[in-house]
Amino acid sequence: MNEAVEPPAPVPFLAAAAALEAIDRALKDAQGSNAGSPRTTTAVSEPDSGPHPALAALLMLREIREQLSGWEGGLIETARGRGASWADLAGPLGVASRQAAERRYLRLRPGRDGSTGEERVQATRDTRAAERSVNAWARDNAADLRRLAGQITALTSLPGGAETAIGDLNLALADGDAARLVRPLTDTRPHLRPEDAALAERLDALTRHTDQLRQDTHDQRST
């Protein structure tokens, strides 16, 4: 039985960039070399050795191509991590739009659950659609969410571990977009005390409702 081939380990960006520059120089040298004076290499050192040198060169080409294809996702992540937008990446990736650039990355990204590239693209689209439905609902119910957030941030004597969650909720309250309140609100739930049961129930209802909105969106897109 053939064992599954493990994907190659990620290559550090500087090493990958240096290797690509070296490959580019070697390709230019090969293309610009005098056809009448070919350079001696291991693969072509014996002109009368039959097809084996060419077969070996083809094998090496395939292995190099497979290795290089595994670098693309990491280079995209490096560029994104350093501030490149999907629109910035479209040109270097040879695609026409930012959407196409992101789709290419999603297809390249390894699936932890054995999913295909197209399945990962679809899953990402479904998740975003679900979040859009939650965001739209939050904006339609901004007053209620802000009122609930204000009541929670006004609580005193909460456990010490609540400071970060309350701080995040205060930041969300200061933002003009009510959609930013949803996650900070639910993140405060574990820090409420028994005497805050009424607020806890409202947060539980919020979580149930937003989860149902996401599920409904997934169901609609699956039909």
Does pLDDT of 1 surpass 50?
A: no
Task: Tell me how far apart the alpha carbons of residues 223 and 10 are, in angstroms, rounded to a whole number.
Answer: 38
Long-range contacts of 30-35 (CB under 8 A, 24+ apart): none
| pLDDT over threshold 60, residue 75 | yes
pLDDT at 87 over 50: yes
Q: How far apart are CA 146 and CA 174, in angstroms?
A: 10
Strand segments, DSSP code E, in 92-178 are: none
| Of 137, 155, 157, nearest in space to 145 by CA | 137
Neighbouring CB atoms inside 10 A of 127's CB total 13
pLDDT at 3: 46
Instruction: Over range 171-198, report the average pLDDT.
Output: 95
Distance, in Å, from the CA atom of 187 to the CA atom of 162, rounded to the nearest integer, reads: 9
Q: What is the pLDDT of residues 110-129, one digit of tens each?
A: 655 556 667 777 777 888 88
Tell me the C-alpha distance between 115 and 103, whole Å: 15
- Cα–Cα dist 32/120, whole Å: 42
Sequence length of the chain is 223
Structure tokens at 105: 């990355």
By the 8 A CB rule, do 169 and 149 touch?
yes
Predicted confidence at residue 73, as pLDDT, reads 87
User: Is the pTM here over 0.85, yes or no?
Assistant: no
Rounded mean pLDDT of the chain? 85
Inter-axis angle of helices 142-153 and 163-174, to 10 degrees? 140
Q: Indicate the range of 4-8, 49-53, 144-148 predicted with least confidence.
A: 4-8
Q: What percent of the chain has pLDDT over 90?
A: 46
210 vs 27: CA distance, rounded Å:
55
| CA-based R_g, the chain, Å | 27
Q: How far apart are CA 168 and CA 189, in angstroms?
A: 13
The H or E element spanning position 165 is helix 163-174
